[in-house]
Amino acid sequence: HLARALTDGYSQVEASVDALLDPAAFELLPDAPLGPFNAHGLQVHLVSHSAGEVTSMPGFQVMKHLPSFVSLSTDVTVGSTVEYTTSLSTSPGVCVLMNKDESKLNKDLGLLRYLEEINALFDYKTKVESLARPTAASYSKQQKRSSRVDDMEKPSLVRIYSNDPKLTRQGMLMKRMTTIDASKEVVVVVD
pLDDT in tens, 67-109: 999 999 999 999 999 999 999 999 999 999 999 999 999 999 9
Is residue 187 pLDDT above 80, yes or no? no
Highest mean pLDDT out of 9-23, 39-53, 139-153: 39-53
Average pLDDT over residues 119-143: 67
The closest alpha carbon to 4, from 54, 48, 38, 27, belongs to 38
Q: How far apart are CA 91 and CA 182, in angstroms?
A: 26
Pairing of strands 157-160, 176-181: antiparallel
Q: What residue type is 134 in one-letter code?
A: P
b (16+ CB within 10 A) / e for 4-19: ebbbeebeeebeeebe
Pairing of strands 52-56, 81-82: antiparallel
Is residue 168 pLDDT above 70, yes or no? no
Global model pTM greater than 0.95: no
